[in-house]
Amino acid sequence: MTGLSELGTFLGGLRVAVTIADEDYRIVFMNDLALEHYAAQGGENLIGTDLLDCHNAESQATLRHMYDRYRTGDLAPTRYHIAKQDGHIQSIVLIPLIVDSQFKGITELLWTEHPELVFDK
């Protein structure tokens, strides 16, 4: 990946946790909110590590399936929600990164939603 310093400047202002992993599952970027969110798991030390090592077997299988789907051209983002004990909802969207028509990894966007601010249409 190129331009990570420029990316860091741009994504530093985005107020969601942003983590980028390359096509080999290696974590290559985390913005300040991602470093904070994943501090207990290693924070900045996660950069350069294998994304699969951060997940249990079931999640690893899900990630492999998602990468396979993106590699074959199905580029629909993957989204899921986790209900937290405090009543908030953690939302996660995984978006494929495409450079020169080639799958180059994923970007994870993660944030906490307040139920009273979620509007369904």
- The range of the structural domain enclosing residue 51 comes to 4-117
How many structural domains compose the chain? 1
Instruction: Note the pLDDT of residue 84.
Output: 81
The alpha carbon of residue 6 and the mean position of all alpha carbons in its chain are separated, in whole angstroms, by: 18
Dihedral sign of CA atoms 109, 94, 26, 64 in order:
positive
Q: What is the CATH number of the domain that holds 27?
A: 3.30.450.20
Spell out the per-residue pLDDT of the chain, length 121, in tens. 445 566 656 666 678 999 999 999 999 999 989 999 999 999 899 999 999 998 899 989 999 999 999 999 999 999 988 888 887 788 899 999 998 999 999 999 998 877 676 666 6
Name the strand (E) or helix (H) holding 30: strand 27-30
Q: Tell me the two tokens of residue 73.
A: 């051209």
